[in-house]
Structure 1
Amino acid sequence: MSHIAEEDVSPVGFRILDLFAGPGGLDVAAHVLGHEVTGIEWDPGACTTRRAAGMDTFRGDVRQYRAAFFPRAQVLTGGPPCQTFTVAGHGAGRRALDQVLEYIGRLHEAVRAEDQEWTKTFGVWREISEELRRKEFRARDVKAEKREVDELRITKRRAIRHRLEQLGNSADEIKQVLKALRNPQKLPFSDDELKGLLKEFSDLNDEHNALRDKLEELGDERTGLVLQPLWWVIERSRRPGLEPFEAVVLEQVPAVMPVWKAYAEVLASLGYRTGTQMMHTEAFGVPQTRRRAVLMARLDKCGPSGEPLPQVPESHERYRTGGCLTGRTWAAGQPDTLPLGVPEEDVAEGAKDCWVSMEKALARARQISPEKVHERPPYTVVSNYGTGGDPEARGRRDHDAPSATITGKVSRNRLVRKGTDEDLPRFDRFTFAEAGVLQTFPVEYPWSGNDVSQQIGNAVPPRLALHVLRHVLEPELGETEARARLNKAVEDLETWKPGQPVENRGHRHLKGHPLARMPLAVTPEASAP
């Protein structure tokens, strides 16, 4: 694989611009489908991996670029960094979501305004951007204040521990006191020095909580990033001299679905057919249970039809404990014979493939690259995370089932002998290559740079991307053709190997880039709006 080709792509291929591109999950899927992709990514580690994988990349903050810089991109994709919309406590998640939806509403109002001049639409975006920038600068100051307070709390905590030791408290007693420091003034101590320290710690707690609440009011600094893809679509649709993207595909965690639905309303006003879908990754051949919220849009060149895009059809069963339904003999129309909660339509023999287990995925990868995938006896993966709100109750998943969600802590998961808590004597952790395979990256993917586990955990599963891109970009294919196309793409994805590394690009490389090369007055040097 090399930099994006200088010549035009074939008629069946698309030129894709991928915002927040990560290490290349969508990119590698698009390449095996025959499309050309340029990504924008700021994370140094992900950029290092993209360089090694030969992925065309502009390194930097998406906000430093604009849709007008890439007038020849036909498709916009991306997964903006998600906000903590579901964060517990103080309503922070709800406030962050409401703030984003309010900004989207303002943009939608500008888009729907009849005879709205571009400069006025741009003015709305500039107002939002300035507002977010002011909040971001203020949040930086508050964070600095909070760090100082937290450092003082650490100092006071140490002083409390030291005083407790002087007073002759046992290690267990000291541990219990330190655990109770959220309400230090309720602790029953008569020692004046210790009472003074507890009072000071209590005051610092109050200051810490006030600064935390202030940060929540200012909002998350990622708000502007969540809005970027929408603005890029608006700019390409409304700015004179530019043409709209032919298609848009965005994905993120389930909590972002309300944002995608609000996006869809704006895109419909811009002439797109849209669809949103909560996708279970194992239902698309990914050996992992994970849910992703996806927004799909396709420009309706025949005029607004009002019909939503159809859902991406699932190719595999969703995971259920107890095994797959494929090939079983439960009779449709006889619900008494079905397992509890299993829909009748899921039991049609041969309708869907069985979900893919960790064992099956890694065995296939081991055939391709034996030196990168280890052979193990039957095992259980013990998660680094707790379940059911109990940090001590570690999630467990056996080797003959799909993996639990691969996160940035995947390297901390333990592999124990199945049915025991005994660590495997060898290979008791997944390697980067193996974790990548469970995310459906090719086994030969050249993971590089810092924090590779986080890169893998944050990435779009390429096999999921195959299904979505094929569905949105090739709607004319019939069921048989689409299945054959996906099967071939999956084979090509599994056996993919990197070509020569390519250097990341910067602003100075925009001139002459295939996605920027167009005889328009709009250039990177042109002043806004």
Structure 2
Amino acid sequence: MNYIEHINTALQPSHPIGLRAVDLFAGCGGISLGFEAMGIAVDGYEMDPKAASTYNQNLQGHCFTERLTLTTSISNGYDIVLGGPPCQPFSVGGHQKGVEDDRNGFPVFINAIRNIQPKLWLFENVRGMLYSNRDYFEQIVTELGELGYRIEYRILNAVNYGVPQNRERLFVVGHRSSFNYPPPLTKRTTVGEAIGDLIDTTIDESKILTASMDRYVLNYEKASKCVNPRDLHLNKPARTLTCRNIAAPTGDMQRVRLSDGRRRRISIREAARLQSFPDWFTFHGTETQQYYQIGNAVPPILALHLAKSVVQCLTSNEYSNNVLLESPPLSIGAQTMIVFEQ
């Protein structure tokens, strides 16, 4: 089965297994999609109406269009709480204001854990949270640990889980038993496997780089001392997709070279495939809004691997042995620590 067939089938919703999750700051539903594919019923909360509309168009659960606050009432009938608290406060692109940024969603996330008391919770964020804002990260871990959870965290690269993209993100899990992060796969998926069939067949002339844009890109690469052109290479995974480098014609934009030598920005569908969204998943909103939904998402195939580990943690050995990991990774234990994938 090739990559496209895999994402189109593996991410279909599975038969319910009796676990319920709520996805806070859900975006268009990348992490929810992976959890639904494991048979977990998921509801979402998202303040962007177009992203929430995308979620409701494609997923089985319902996404509430609402800006979460400390006074938001969320049902306590969930086994799992998922979340991607807005990462701009901790990302380089977001100027790393951290705790002082009014977009910081962690007080809401912690409050939800306190009120719901789920069996397990998981959140995703950018690597930068561990560096410029390390003290605040440790404060978050301490507060969540005081609610009765063992906490473990790792930097995971999506490329190690079948996503055709180098994308490192921080994943933090709180549980009350034993949790094993999914083991990395041996095979890496390339850009060619993901979008090779689209490059010369779905040409949008508006995305072709003009002569002036080509000169701009060349000057950008010289100024940034770029050794290799930033074009996507069919025999390699892609660079990290971000809102900025897929939504706008910038110097570091994600771009492909056509067979006639011209270059162009990638399309919505190409960006979606590079994030492991299936072809049946459709996006709502303007083109820019759709690119932002894709760039902000957790790759659904990576979410599926994490969901398998969550199910293993929360269900019986009999069930786990039938559906889950071939060989568990290092168990970190009760102590919080960071593990970087090689």
| 2:224 alignment partner in structure 1 | 390
Q: Which amino acid aligns with 1:234?
A: R
| 2:32 alignment partner in structure 1 | 27
| 1:470 alignment partner in structure 2 | 308
| 2:176 alignment partner in structure 1 | 299
CA contact (8 A) 1:274 1:309 kept: no
1-structure distance, mates of 2:322, 2:38: 17
The counterpart of 2:192, out of the listed 343, 355, 359, is 359
* Distance change (3 Å), C-alpha of 1:262 and 1:407: same
Q: CA deviation at 1:260?
A: 4.8
1:58 aligned counterpart, secondary structure: strand
Q: Which amino acid aligns with 1:252?
A: N
Work out which of the two has the higher radius of gyration on C-alpha atoms and give 1 or 2. Answer: 1
1-structure distance, mates of 2:71, 2:280: 32
Equivalenced residue count is 281
| 2:292 alignment partner in structure 1 | 454
CA contact (8 A) 1:23 1:46 kept: yes
| 1:40 alignment partner in structure 2 | 45
2-structure distance, mates of 1:407, 1:314: 23
Q: Which amino acid aligns with 2:154?
A: Q
CA contact (8 A) 2:90 2:126 kept: no
- State how 1:269-418 maps to structure 2 within 5 Å: 269-300=146-177, 309-315=179-185, 352=186, 354-362=187-195, 373=198, 375=200, 390=224, 395-408=230-243, 409-411=245-247, 412=249, 413-417=254-258
The RMSD of aligned alpha carbons is 3.3
Q: CA deviation at 1:483?
A: 4.5
1:231 aligned counterpart, secondary structure: helix
CA contact (8 A) 1:439 1:461 kept: yes
CA contact (8 A) 1:410 1:435 kept: yes
1:443 aligned counterpart, secondary structure: coil
- State how 1:259-278 maps to structure 2 within 5 Å: 259-278=136-155
Corresponding position: 1:482 with 2:317: no
- State how 1:499-514 maps to structure 2 within 5 Å: none
Q: CA deviation at 1:266?
A: 2.6
Q: CA deviation at 1:13?
A: 3.2
1-structure distance, mates of 2:24, 2:322: 32
Moved more, 50-59 or 280-289: 50-59
For normalisation by structure 1, the TM-score amounts to 0.48
Q: CA deviation at 1:479?
A: 7.2
1:474 aligned counterpart, secondary structure: helix
CA contact (8 A) 1:82 1:226 kept: no
2-structure distance, mates of 1:269, 1:437: 40
2-structure distance, mates of 1:440, 1:245: 28
Q: Deviations over 1:242-273 (max 9, x none)?
A: xx201101001111234554433333322212
CA contact (8 A) 2:121 2:174 kept: yes
2:153 aligned counterpart, secondary structure: strand
* Distance change (3 Å), C-alpha of 1:312 and 1:87: same
| 2:332 alignment partner in structure 1 | none
Q: Deviations over 1:418-445 (max 9, x none)?
A: 7x9x315xxx342212210110001121
Corresponding position: 1:251 with 2:124: yes
Q: CA deviation at 1:410?
A: 1.3
Q: CA deviation at 1:40?
A: 0.4
Q: CA deviation at 1:45?
A: 2.0
1-structure distance, mates of 2:238, 2:18: 33
1-structure distance, mates of 2:144, 2:79: 16
Corresponding position: 1:71 with 2:76: yes
| 2:64 alignment partner in structure 1 | 58
2:232 aligned counterpart, secondary structure: strand
* Distance change (3 Å), C-alpha of 1:231 and 1:33: same
Q: Which amino acid aligns with 2:301?
A: R
* Distance change (3 Å), C-alpha of 1:417 and 1:433: closer
Q: CA deviation at 1:417?
A: 4.2
Gaps of 5+ in 1: 1-8, 101-218, 237-243, 301-307, 316-351, 367-372, 485-529
For normalisation by structure 2, the TM-score amounts to 0.72
Q: CA deviation at 1:376?
A: 6.0
CA contact (8 A) 1:260 1:276 kept: no
| 1:220 alignment partner in structure 2 | 101
1-structure distance, mates of 2:139, 2:224: 35
CA contact (8 A) 2:232 2:238 kept: yes
Q: Deviations over 1:167-221 (max 9, x none)?
A: xxxxxxxxxxxxxxxxxxxxxxxxxxxxxxxxxxxxxxxxxxxxxxxxxxxx321
1:444 aligned counterpart, secondary structure: coil
Q: CA deviation at 1:25?
A: 0.3
CA contact (8 A) 2:231 2:257 kept: no
Q: CA deviation at 1:480?
A: 7.6
CA contact (8 A) 1:247 1:298 kept: yes
CA contact (8 A) 2:25 2:45 kept: yes
Q: Which amino acid aligns with 2:150?
A: R
2-structure distance, mates of 1:391, 1:478: 49
Q: CA deviation at 1:63?
A: 1.1
2-structure distance, mates of 1:56, 1:34: 15
Q: CA deviation at 1:481?
A: 4.0
2-structure distance, mates of 1:56, 1:389: 47
Gaps of 5+ in 2: 1-14, 203-208, 327-342
Q: Deviations over 1:118-166 (max 9, x none)?
A: xxxxxxxxxxxxxxxxxxxxxxxxxxxxxxxxxxxxxxxxxxxxxxxxx
2-structure distance, mates of 1:71, 1:404: 39
| 2:280 alignment partner in structure 1 | 444
1-structure distance, mates of 2:242, 2:217: 10
CA contact (8 A) 1:23 1:50 kept: yes
1:279 aligned counterpart, secondary structure: strand
Q: Deviations over 1:348-400 (max 9, x none)?
A: xxxx2x2100111235xx6xxxxxx45569xxx99979569729886233111
1:69 aligned counterpart, secondary structure: coil
